């Protein structure tokens, strides 16, 4: 790459044995013990969501059946997951991320890509940002995270795994290509067991082996993803950090200091809320086809009404107009409204499909 290339600064942050670490943090009796968070081994179809590092020493892994885990380590302790707690912690982690950047792409509750090419605090060094984030997670949540820092998502993600737990690994621009060359094929995320076996049968064991093949040869052997392999072994991965990837809807709402009874007041509020929603959509370059109005009455009864369009939209004026029409249709005689909200969903083709290799595995188990 030319010397004047402006490299992106990408961090992949991954909490260490997330669910298990939270449980050990909150319950001192579980510390230092082989702990399995997930289904109980007595139950049918129970699986391991997360195993503590003590449990991993016995070969216990995520997605394994809890029965098998018990066989591997008969004195393992099993606890059920507490998702409400993990979600709270996850929210706090994302708040820490947001001090540095708005370009946050969560992959699951405990994992995210951050683009800190321009960090909000002007730290400058991505390694320093990663260190500060790890420190904040330690100080504020009493948990550890591992970070990978590089110029693209692919390498950052692999890097975060290298010095786990509590690790930080930087793969700089000049090191990326040699890093990819020595990488075993099974470490390429997106390469499943079957593909890895297929590659090995063809004598392809590392990135360097893949690099000897032309793009056409790779496509012939592995299908479309061959193009991705061709680029990635050369250190090229231009996939942007996409903040909205998990977002299915975006909106805003307001609870009022006193109940609204006059349509004029409601309209004024809807104008304000529509503007907030439009600003948010614009920030993420999103437009949606479905507009939903939420109304909560003084009785706390809540209703939603939605309207779908043929064209995606995101401007404040249209949002407000549709919201007012939906509101009028609910009947406004003698109502007292304590909350109004507008959201937009159905983003359609503007939203890229989540890639299989980035699926939040831990959540799929439940």
Which of 111, 181, 197, 334 is labelled catalytic? 111
**Residue (110 or 115) nearer to Mg ion, CB:** 110
Q: Left, alpha or beta for 253 (phi > 0: left; psi -120 to 50: alpha)? A: beta
- Is 118 an annotated catalytic residue? no
CB of 111 to Mg ion, least distance (A): 6
Whether 209 has a binding-site annotation, put simply, is no
Q: Restricting to residues 95-134, name those near Mg ion by CB under 5 A.
A: 110
Nearest to Mg ion of 11, 225 (CB atom): 11
Lookup: tokens for 177:
């290509």
Please, which residues bridge with residue 313 across strands? 288
Total interface residues for Mg ion by CB under 5 A = 4
In this complex, which beta carbon is closest to Mg ion, that of residue 88 or of residue 215? 88
Rounded to a whole number of angstroms, the minimum distance from the CB of residue 166 to Mg ion is: 12
Q: State in angstroms the smallest separation of the CB of 167 from Mg ion.
A: 12
Query: How crowded is residue 244: how many other Cβ atoms within 10 Å of its Cβ?
Result: 18
Q: Tell me whether residue 102 is annotated as binding.
A: no
As measured in angstroms, the least distance from the Cβ of 330 to Mg ion is 45
Which of positions 139-158 make contact with Mg ion (CB under 5 A)?
none
CA–CA dist 181, 191 (Å, integer): 16
What is the DSSP secondary-structure string of 52-98?
-HHHHTTT--TTSBHHHHHHH-TT-EEE---HHHHHHHHHHHHHHHH
Which of 128, 124, 180 minimizes the C-alpha distance to 152? 180
Distance CA 282, CA 330 (A): 29
Of 18 and 154, which has the nearer Cβ to Mg ion? 18
Binding Mg ion (rule: CB under 5 A), the pick from 9, 10, 12, 14 is 14
Residue 260: φ, ψ to 5°: -85, 135
Q: From the list 13, 15, 233, 337, which residue makes contact with Mg ion (rule: CB under 5 A)?
A: 15
Shortest distance in whole angstroms from residue 179 CB to Mg ion: 21
Q: How far is the CB of 63 from Mg ion (least distance, A)?
A: 13
Give the residue among 73, 85, 23, 90 at the shortest CA–CA distance from 50: 23
Rounded to a whole number of angstroms, the distance between the first and last alpha carbons of the chain is 44
Spatial distance between the Cα atoms of 173 and 177, rounded to a whole number of angstroms: 8
- The full length of the chain comes to 366
Structure tokens at 217: 């040869």
Nearer residue to Mg ion within complex by CB, 190 or 312: 190
For Mg ion, the closer of residues 108 and 150 by Cβ is: 108
- Provide the CB-side half-sphere exposure for 125 (13 A, CA): 7
Neighbours of 197 (CB within 10 A): 13
**DSSP 8-state secondary structure symbol assigned to residue 206:** B
* The Cα angle at residue 106 between residues 17 and 278, in degrees rounded to 5: 155
Q: Which residues carry out catalysis?
A: 111
* Binding site listing: 14, 110
- Residues lying near Mg ion in the complex (CB under 5 A) are found at 14-15, 18, 110
Binding-site residue set for Mg(2+): 14, 110
């Amino acid at each position: 790459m030319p010397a004047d290339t402006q490299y992106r600064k990408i961090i992949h942050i991954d909490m260490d044995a997330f669910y298990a670490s939270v449980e050990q943090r909150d319950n001192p009796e579980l510390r230092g013990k082989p702990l399995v968070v997930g289904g109980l081994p007595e139950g049918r179809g129970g699986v391991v969501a997360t195993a503590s590092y003590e449990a991993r020493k016995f070969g216990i892994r995520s997605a394994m059946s809890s029965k098998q885990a018990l066989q591997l380590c008969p004195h393992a302790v099993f606890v059920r997951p507490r998702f409400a707690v993990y979600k709270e912690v996850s929210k706090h982690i994302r708040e820490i991320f947001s001090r540095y950047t708005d370009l946050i792409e969560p992959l699951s509750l405990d994992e995210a890509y951050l683009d800190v090419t321009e960090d909000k605090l002007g730290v400058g060094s991505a390694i320093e940002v990663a260190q500060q984030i790890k420190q904040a997670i330690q100080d504020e949540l009493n948990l550890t995270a591992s970070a990978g820092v590089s110029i693209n998502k692919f390498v950052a993600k692999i890097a975060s795994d290298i010095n786990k737990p509590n690790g930080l690994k930087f793969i700089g621009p000049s090191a990326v290509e040699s890093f990819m060359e020595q990488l075993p094929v099974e470490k390429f995320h997106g390469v499943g067991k079957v593909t890895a076996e297929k590659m090995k049968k063809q004598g392809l064991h590392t990135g360097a082996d893949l690099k000897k093949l032309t793009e056409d040869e790779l496509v012939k052997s592995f299908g479309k993803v061959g193009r991705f392999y061709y680029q990635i072994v050369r250190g090229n991965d231009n996939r942007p950090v996409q903040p909205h990837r998990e977002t299915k809807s975006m909106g805003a709402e307001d609870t009022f200091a006193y109940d609204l009874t006059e349509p004029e007041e409601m309209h004024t509020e809807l104008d304000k809320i529509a503007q907030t929603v439009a600003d948010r959509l614009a920030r993420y370059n999103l437009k949606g086809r479905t507009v939903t109005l939420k109304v909560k009455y003084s009785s706390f009864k809540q209703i939603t009404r939605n309207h779908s369009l043929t064209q995606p939209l995101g401007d404040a004026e249209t949002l407000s107009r549709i919201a007012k029409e939906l509101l009028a249709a609910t009947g406004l005689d003698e109502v007292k409204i304590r909350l109004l909200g507008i959201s937009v969903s159905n983003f359609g083709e503007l939203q890229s499909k989540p890639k299989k290799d980035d699926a939040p595995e831990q959540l799929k188990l439940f």
